[in-house]
């Protein structure tokens, strides 16, 4: 049922969205891998990415009424996920925000369907949690209720304290965070690729140093 996780990692590597080498994170750590969802930048890759989001959402069995994509990266993700869900027989409305309120035309800070009911936030990753916090504030101000967050990859890496960024969001806002794939899925993928054993060792060492267990 969850083979899509390994398929997603393989797809991200093929698209060079998931790269290996030496990359400095915002926290100043030297990571052996880097994930940049912005490189899903053509029609075919966005379609496939959207299908992975839909699979992760449906597999979670999380009740929700609509999707919300935080500007800017979340906009195509929410739209794409809505299309992919409709293709799976689940037609739901979606909405996204503007960075600045529009004072003419229809006005307001959001575009798309009215924010109401249980709102599922669609984003690429969670690092500092700023995008999630702003989304939750906006959704609640509209009288709706955030019910969860869906991201592409969970690095399962310590934030400022002992928890990962995902765990911090879950604890602070009491919301589930659903990831298409996690660092554990990445390691499982690398274990099956003979030509990537050096990357496996580097990634495992990085996890040993900075990783967080979800057990």
Band of residue 98 on the pLDDT scale cut at 50, 70, 90 = confident
Q: Is residue 135 part of a domain?
A: yes
> For position 159, what pLDDT does the model report?
80
What is the count of structural domains for the chain?
A: 1
The CATH number of whichever domain residue 86 belongs to comes to: 3.40.50.2020
Alpha carbon of residue 8 to chain centroid: 12
Residues annotated as catalytic (active site), given as ranges? 102, 104
pTM of the model: 0.93
Residue 5 phi/psi, 5-degree rounding, is -65, -50
Summarised one tens digit per residue, pLDDT across range 6-31 is 999 999 999 999 999 999 988 889 99
Residue 19: C-alpha distances to residues 15, 144, 151, 192 (Å): 9, 38, 18, 17
> CA 100, 106, 110 angle in degrees (round to 5)?
45
Q: Is residue 95 part of a domain?
A: yes
Q: Is residue 131 part of a domain?
A: yes
Q: Is residue 215 part of a domain?
A: no
29 and 63 Cβ atoms separated by less than 8 Å: no
Domain with 11, as residue range(s), is 3-210
């Amino acid at each position: 049922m969850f083979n899509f996780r390994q398929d997603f990692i393989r797809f991200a590597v093929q698209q060079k969205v998931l790269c290996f080498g030496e990359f400095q994170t915002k926290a100043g750590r030297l990571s052996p891998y880097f994930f940049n969802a912005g490189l899903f930048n053509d029609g075919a890759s966005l379609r496939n990415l959207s299908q992975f989001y839909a699979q992760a959402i449906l597999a979670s069995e999380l009740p929700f009424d609509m999707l919300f994509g935080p500007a800017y990266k979340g906009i195509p993700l929410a739209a794409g996920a809505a299309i992919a869900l409709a293709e799976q027989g689940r037609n739901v409305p979606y909405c996204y925000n503007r960075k600045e309120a529009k004072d003419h035309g229809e006005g307001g800070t959001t575009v798309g369907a009215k924010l109401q009911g249980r709102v599922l936030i669609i984003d690429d990753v969670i690092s500092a949690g700023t995008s999630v916090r702003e989304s939750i504030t906006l959704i609640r101000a509209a009288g709706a209720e955030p019910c969860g967050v869906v991201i592409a990859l969970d690095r399962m890496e310590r934030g400022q304290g002992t928890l990962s960024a995902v765990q911090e969001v879950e604890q602070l806002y009491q919301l589930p965070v659903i990831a298409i794939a996690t660092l554990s899925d990445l390691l499982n993928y690398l274990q099956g690729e003979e030509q990537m054993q050096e990357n496996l060792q580097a990634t495992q060492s990085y996890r040993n140093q900075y990783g967080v267990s979800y057990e």
